[in-house]
Structure 1
Amino acid sequence: MSNSNTIAPPIEGLHRGDLIAQVRGVAGDASAWFTTHWLAIAVAIAIGVGIFGLLLLLRGWAIRLCKRGEGVATWYSIIGRALAKTGTFFMIMTSARLVIGYADAPPLIHATIVFLFTIAAVFQAAIWAREIIFGAIEHRTQADPGHDHGLASALGIIRLLVTIVLFAISVVLVLSNLGVNVTGLVAGLGVGGIAIGLAAQGVFADLFAALAIIFDRPFRLGDSISYDKGSGAGTVEAIGLKSTRVRGGNGEERIIANRKLLDFEILNTTRRARNRFKFDFHLGYGIDPDLVRSLPGLLKEAVESEGYVLVHGGLNGFSDAGLSYDLEFESVEIDFPAEARDRVAAAVLERFHANHIDFAYPTSVNLIAGDVEKIPTGTAKAD
């Protein structure tokens, strides 16, 4: 006990003395540097203040650009929003780093400024990258007014993941610049990420499918879709992180995993460029050949009189029931009223009645040898 009490004070005094000596040495070097290079230091400070002022003006311009494009995710506002996040510490260290070489600073001061500038630059770059990525996501999704809480949560998760990844990279870069061996840290992070990914691969698969729905937009809320080769159909009511809810035609709610839903071929009937219908009918073989020649014109006139476009209207061939015809027409725009088929059918019937054209009905005729009666011209059927 007595030996330890007698030895401790000299060791403590030695460490404290070394520290005081180092501080005095740095202070002496700084004093000598100021005394010898005061003019160069003054010029460097003036230039640094000017650079800092320019950076402040640039940040102010970026903030005004953000306000001018507020609420609109244009690329101008995205870049402006990123520049507006420029930190004051980064601007100070940038100014100091640009002028430190002109002042012939001592090695310790020069190394300190370079070190602080490296830290500020790395984290500032991460902040800029994060804002640009967030802005790009907003720019991509701003045209979709049907975002619900599920998609909002998905976007929140994207922001969290992007922030974690960017700042983790920044920490690794800073440690690497400090001379720390980060190989083990990077390997550990990689192994941990693989383990988490394998444990929750189903959840991540559905999450990434939800992100695919956000960016690729195969459907939106309120769209009518059919999937799984038409075995499932309904209206999209909600798009969540893991599943999508579709309201079926009978009123039932179908909950489908996002990953599984995107594996199907999806038919989005809401996004039709046009709508199309087709009628099939037969005319008797006793029809006047002149009417056969004029029939395509009559069908086209009937369709266009109701404001629709004729795709095909004419003879398909000969059949047991008579001359086989079809009439196919489509809408000019997406909207196609429910009574469209009735109106076109009425227009066709008007022209058939005016020209004494009758539909064919299936008939059976028994012929007796020597019978000279004509086969009925056909008064047949409408499909």
Structure 2
Amino acid sequence: MSNTAAANTSATARPDLGPQLQVMWNDSAIWFQTHWLQILIAVAVATGIVLLLYFLRRMGVKLCERDPRHTGWPTVFGRAISKTGSFFIIMAAARLVSGYAQPPAVVMTTIEFLWTVAAVFQAAIWARELILGFIEHRTGAEGYRGEALINAMGIIRLLVTVALFAIALIVVLDNLGVNVTGLVAGLGVGGIAIGLAAQGIFADLFAALSIIFDKPFRRGDKVTYDQTTGVIEAIGLKSTRIRAFTGEERIISNKQLLDKEIQNITNRDHIRIQLVIGVAYETPPEKLEALPDMLTGIVEAANATLARASFEAFGASSVDFALWFDIPGNDWPTAHKIRDAVMIEVLRRFAAEKISIPYPTQTTYTAAPDGTIVMPYPEVQPVRRVDKGEDEE
């Protein structure tokens, strides 16, 4: 008795598809018999639409082949068009002619469902190709290539694909009448948990993407970071390697690298040298007055550009003059040679003009207990002159 009841319950819970298929078959047969002319016309129009969409997809491939750089906008749109699927093409044609053919309600519902699935996922594919194409266009516009970009594009493709197809799946389920509130909440909580667990990795990853897209520096650039000056050897997804001028390789995480000021000295158009020259206070005023012109002539003779040659301050042991000049280019060895030539010429001209650069001097005075000053050198006894007569006595 219990087995019979269970069997009846199972039969009641499981829908019987036989009558539904029979009804669909009968309605379709009647539809074919009464609307055969409209069906033939709709099939002919749908065939033309399919051929047109296939032609457009082929034109997308041609656009990709015509772009020699493979990173321009023709390639971006051409690649998106070439990713149009055959299922979407067929369902688009069926949906466009279904209204004219006037199919039965069950057939129309099936066409609308399949069209929704095809359109949503095809839109996700198009969006993915456009996003990735835009990123490649930005990075390839200035010829940026390298292993880091390839690895970054692989991760970006994975993240974009997962995000877009998750949204597409939710949209399809929502159109089917499924309550997606719990699914959306679960995906949000899962994303937050993953983000918190791997926040350090994601921070360095997004920092690497910022370096690749914003291009504060590239491989081979000379940079100054914190106390390190060197050449960029590699930009990875986790860290950047810098070959310091002192020889060692320094590995710095991308997030830490972007948190501080970075000086990119590769594209600098000049190097500024700043010198402070002290002249003795005993130098005559007319020579001090002529000193800026003398320094200007020395700088110009060395093929450098004068920025400043003027009085700076009254120093502790000297009258200080500031000499600033710019050397074209960014080659420090060349700049050092010109700087050395300028300094030697300054010494030569000062020697010829009898202008001295004094040593720093300082005199210390000591006070006795009673407050009187103790001289830093012994007192010299006065010399008393002795007359000849006194000496004889």
Counterparts of residues 281-360 of structure 1 (less than 5 Å): 281-283=277-279, 286=283, 289=286, 292=289, 296=292, 299-319=295-315, 322-332=318-328, 334-336=329-331, 338-343=333-338, 346=341, 349=345, 353=349, 357-360=353-356
Q: Which amino acid aligns with 1:36?
A: T
How many residues matched? 355
Greater relative contact order (Cα < 8 A, sep 6+)? 1
Aligned residue type for 1:35: Q
1:266 is aligned to 262
Contact residue 272 and residue 325 of structure 2 kept, 8 A: yes
Pair 1:180-2:175 in alignment: no
Name the structure 2 match of 1:362: 358
- Of the structure 1 ranges 201-210 and 120-129, higher mean CA displacement relative to structure 2 is found in 201-210
The alignment status of 1:246 with 2:242, answered yes or no, reads: yes
| Residue 161 (structure 1) aligned with residue 159 (structure 2) | yes
Shift in Å, 1:252: 2.7
Q: In the alignment, which residue of structure 1 is the partner of 2:367?
A: none
Distance (whole Å) between structure 2 residues aligned to residue 316 and residue 180 of structure 1: 80
Deviations 1:54-92 (A, max 9, x none): 222222221111111154311221111111111121111
Structure 1 position 232 matched with structure 2 position 215 = no
Take 1:125 and 1:174, find their aligned partners in 2: how far apart are those partners? Answer: 12
What is the Cα deviation at residue 286 of structure 1? 4.0
Deviation at 1:167, TM superposition (A): 0.9
Q: Is the 8 A contact 1:322 1:360 kept in 2?
A: no
The answer to whether the 8 Å contact 1:82/1:131 transfers is yes
Q: In the TM superposition, what is the alpha-carbon distance from 1:352 to its structure 2 partner?
A: 7.4
The amino acid of 2:356's aligned partner reads A
Alignment partner, residue 190 of structure 1: 188
Counterpart CA distance in 1 for 2:246 and 2:113 is 67
Answer whether contact 1:29 1:106 (CA < 8 A) is retained.
yes
Residue number in structure 2 paired with 1:372:
none
Candidates 59, 65, 68, aligned match of 1:61: 59
- Structure 1 vs Structure 2 CA RMSD: 3.5
Q: 2:78 aligns with which of 57, 71, 80?
A: 80
Structure 1 residue runs without a partner (length 5+): 365-383
**Whole-Å separation in 2 of the counterparts to 1:224 and 1:335:** 10
In structure 2, the CA distance between the partners of 1:51 and 1:358, relative to structure 1 (3 Å rule), is farther
**Residues 1:208 and 2:206 aligned together:** yes
The aligned residue for residue 251 of structure 2 is 255
Q: Which amino acid aligns with 2:254?
A: N
Q: Please give the alpha-carbon distance, in whole angstroms, between the structure 2 residues aligned to 1:105 and 1:304.
A: 91
Secondary structure at the aligned position of 1:310 is classed as strand
Moved over 6 A (4+): none
**Quick one: distance in 1 between partners of 2:146 and 2:72?**
22
2: CA distance, partners of 1:142 / 1:359: 60
Secondary structure of the equivalent of 2:255? helix
Q: Are the structure 2 counterparts of residues 141 and 359 from structure 1 closer, same or farther at C-alpha, using a change threshold of 3 Å?
A: farther
- Structure-2 residue corresponding to 1:40: 38
In structure 2, the gaps of 5 or more residues are 362-393
What TM-score does the superposition give when structure 2 sets the normalisation length? Answer: 0.77
Q: Which residue of the other structure, out of 268, 271, 276, is the alignment partner of 1:275?
A: 271
Question: Retained in 2: the 8 A contact 1:59–1:86?
Answer: yes
Q: CA deviation at 1:148?
A: 4.5
Deviation at 1:124, TM superposition (A): 0.7
Deviates more, 1:162-171 or 1:246-255: 246-255
Is the contact between residue 275 and residue 322 of structure 2 (CA under 8 Å) also seen in structure 1? yes
Flag the 1:287–1:175 CA change in 2: closer, same or farther, 3 A: same
The answer on whether the counterparts of 1:82 and 1:128 sit within 8 Å (CA) in structure 2 is: yes
Q: Indicate if the aligned counterparts of 1:277 and 1:341 stay in contact, CA closer than 8 A.
A: no
From the superposition, tell whether residues 290 and 22 of structure 1 become closer, same or farther in structure 2 (CA, over 3 Å).
same
Instruction: Report if the CA contact (8 A) 2:128-2:160 is conserved.
Output: yes
One of 82, 93, 96 as aligned partner of 1:98: 96
CA contact (8 A) 2:266 2:330 kept: no
